[in-house]
């Protein structure tokens, strides 16, 4: 079938993207779903820094590629062997498919699936197929999803069936921002009520972590960012204190607020200065957790003596250490009960044709979670 999709053919385009147009809206051929695959109508897709990192070249991927990895879709057709989904079901897409049989999957850590990671790096689906092409040339899949399009074929193992009552735009955020941010607090940190926490970097992931820390009953939740408007929103969402990361005395301010440092510092900015600040504000015996994805060539200077003498912990958190089939329904339930007001994090809703402008907004650091609604006419609106 013919579909409309946002295709990246060359990385490293200059900003503004609205002028350089790194993503071209093009007609692409989409093959039917093979065994273990599903054809979806894409309902809503979030714009994430992981997509922006591919555009800029910070996370190299094979091109041409249809970008997008955070999405909600409707099942239209199931390939052979898919018996637990049917047309009309709604699903949240997960950007790390899990094979179920490699060592990490067997250990209950599907976010670290080895065949899934290999497939994502190569630009094909979990089973090894590419279902996208243009003019006879194969087009790569982004993280097994490629949701910046009106339709997609994905592995069944990239889908989690969801409650039909949640809105499309809200549901999309659970595939990356919420899964990663909430999971870092709930799964990676296993943070207990009464803990002191700080969140550095208030994008979709960072705000989700902040909401989770508040819901978990943290005694202190310090929000840290460069944007005053985001710090103001963090206050409204439950942060007990805010600190501007540009303040030369930021680390001292956090240590004063938290009486010596935080139990958990969550670095969500994907930047070495943020990582350094997160380490500085973590108390003796505390844990610094990073879910950011900086350029792979960057390095963080770690003082080994502190690691030992202060019994410090430094941990990575990928997709919130999630078990998506377990966690996404749980997090949606928390949202529906008012415990995770994810709807407060949404920015503009854009048609597919405005996607480059959306990435300009994301690159500026001032936007909330903008969404592309590819199969319906939308009117841009800011979240309140």
Question: What is the structure's pLDDT at 128?
Answer: 96
CA distance 27 to 6: 9
CA distance 314 to 287: 6
Residue with tokens 């206050």: 235
Over the stretch 157-174, which tens digit does the pLDDT of each residue have? 999 999 889 999 999 999
Compute CA distances 9 → 93, 170, 195, 359, whole Å.
23, 30, 46, 16
Helices marked H in 103-202: 103-106, 114-122, 168-173, 177-183
CB neighbours (10 Å) of residue 41?
A: 17
Over the stretch 56-65, which tens digit does the pLDDT of each residue have? 999 889 999 9
Does residue 377 have a pLDDT over 90?
no
Question: What is the structure's pLDDT at 376?
Answer: 61
Over the stretch 20-47, which tens digit does the pLDDT of each residue have? 999 999 999 999 999 999 999 999 999 9
Does residue 379 have a pLDDT over 90?
no
Does residue 384 have a pLDDT over 60?
no
- Comparing 142-151, 162-171, 235-244, 318-327, the range with the smallest average pLDDT is 162-171
Which domains, from first to last, does the chain contain?
Answer: 2-175+341-372 (3.90.180.10), 184-317 (3.40.50.720)
Question: What is the structure's pLDDT at 191?
Answer: 97
Question: What is the structure's pLDDT at 374?
Answer: 87
Residue with tokens 């147009």: 21
**What count of Cα atoms within 13 Å lies in the side-chain half-sphere of residue 138?**
12
Question: What is the structure's pLDDT at 163?
Answer: 85
The distance from CA 101 to its chain's CA centroid, rounded to whole angstroms, is 25
The helix (run of H) or strand (run of E) holding residue 17 is: helix 17-20
Question: What is the structure's pLDDT at 382?
Answer: 41
Cβ–Cβ < 8 Å for 202, 345: no
Does residue 354 have a pLDDT over 90?
yes
**Percent of the chain beyond pLDDT 90?**
93
CA distance 132 to 353: 20
Over the stretch 328-338, which tens digit does the pLDDT of each residue have? 999 999 999 99
The rounded mean pLDDT for the chain is 95
Who has greater pLDDT, 1 or 377? 1
Determine how β-strand 159-161 pairs with β-strand 90-93. antiparallel
Question: What is the structure's pLDDT at 61?
Answer: 94
Residue with tokens 């960072």: 206
Cβ–Cβ < 8 Å for 270, 293: yes
CA distance 370 to 348: 5
The two tokens of residue 181 are 């941010």
Using CA of residue 257, residue 260, residue 265, residue 268, what is the dihedral sign?
A: positive
Residue with tokens 């339709």: 151
The two tokens of residue 197 are 């926490």
**Burial (CB count within 10 angstroms: exposed 0-12, middle 13-18, buried 19+), residue 309:** exposed
The two tokens of residue 122 are 């190569």
Over the stretch 230-253, which tens digit does the pLDDT of each residue have? 999 999 999 999 999 999 999 999
Q: Exposure string (b/e) for 103-133, b if CB count within 10 Å is 16 or more? A: ebbeeebbbbbebbbebbeebbbbbebebbe
User: φ, ψ for residue 246 (rounded to 5)?
Assistant: -80, -10
pLDDT tier, 127 (very low <50, low <70, confident <90, very high otherwise):
very high
Classified as helix, coil or strand, 369 is strand
Question: What is the structure's pLDDT at 68?
Answer: 98
Beta bridge partners of 244: 225
Does residue 381 have a pLDDT over 70?
no
CA distance 61 to 102: 24
Angle at 330 between CA 79 and CA 315, to 5 degrees: 100
Helices 49-56, 355-364: crossing angle, 10 deg rounding: 100
The two tokens of residue 103 are 């060592």
CA distance 34 to 209: 37
Classified as helix, coil or strand, 347 is strand
- List all residues 6 or more positions away from 83 whose beta carbon is below 8 Å from its beta carbon: none
């Amino acid at each position: 079938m013919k579909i409309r999709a946002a295709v990246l053919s060359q990385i490293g385009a200059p900003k503004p993207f609205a002028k350089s147009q790194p993503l071209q809206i093009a007609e692409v051929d989409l093959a039917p779903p093979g065994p273990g695959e599903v054809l979806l109508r894409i309902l809503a897709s979030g714009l994430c820094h992981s997509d922006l990192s591919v555009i800029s070249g910070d996370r190299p991927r094979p091109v041409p590629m249809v970008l997008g990895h955070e999405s909600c879709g409707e099942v239209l057709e199931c390939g052979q062997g898919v018996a637990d989904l049917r047309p009309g079901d709604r699903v949240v897409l997960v950007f790390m498919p899990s094979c179920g049989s490699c060592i990490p999957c067997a250990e209950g850590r599907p976010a670290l699936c080895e065949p899934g990671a290999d497939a994502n790096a190569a630009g094909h689906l979990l089973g090894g197929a590419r279902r996208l092409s243009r003019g006879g040339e194969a087009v790569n899949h982004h993280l097994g999803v490629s949701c910046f399009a009106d339709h997609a074929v994905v592995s069944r193992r990239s889908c989690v069936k969801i409650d039909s009552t949640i809105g499309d735009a809200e549901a999309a955020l659970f595939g990356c921002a919420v899964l990663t941010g909430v999971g870092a607090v709930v799964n990676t940190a296993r943070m207990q009520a009464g803990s002191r926490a700080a969140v550095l970097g208030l994008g979709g992931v960072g705000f989700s972590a902040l909401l989770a820390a508040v819901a978990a009953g943290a005694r202190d939740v310090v929000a840290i960012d460069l944007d005053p408007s985001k710090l103001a929103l963090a206050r409204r969402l439950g942060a007990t204190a805010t600190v501007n990361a540009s303040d030369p005395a930021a680390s001292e301010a956090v240590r004063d607020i938290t009486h010596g440092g935080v139990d958990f510092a969550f670095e969500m900015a994907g930047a070495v200065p943020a990582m350094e600040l997160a380490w500085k504000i973590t108390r003796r015996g505390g844990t610094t957790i990073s879910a950011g994805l900086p350029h792979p060539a960057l390095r963080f200077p770690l003082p080994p003596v502190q690691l030992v003498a202060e019994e410090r912990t430094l941990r990575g958190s990928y997709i919130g250490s999630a078990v998506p089939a377990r966690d996404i329904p749980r997090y949606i339930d928390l949202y529906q009960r008012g415990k995770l007001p994810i709807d407060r994090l949404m920015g503009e809703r854009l048609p597919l044709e405005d996607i480059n402008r959306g990435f300009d907004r994301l690159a500026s650091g001032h936007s909330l979670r903008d969404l592309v609604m590819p199969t319906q006419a939308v009117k841009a609106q800011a979240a309140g």
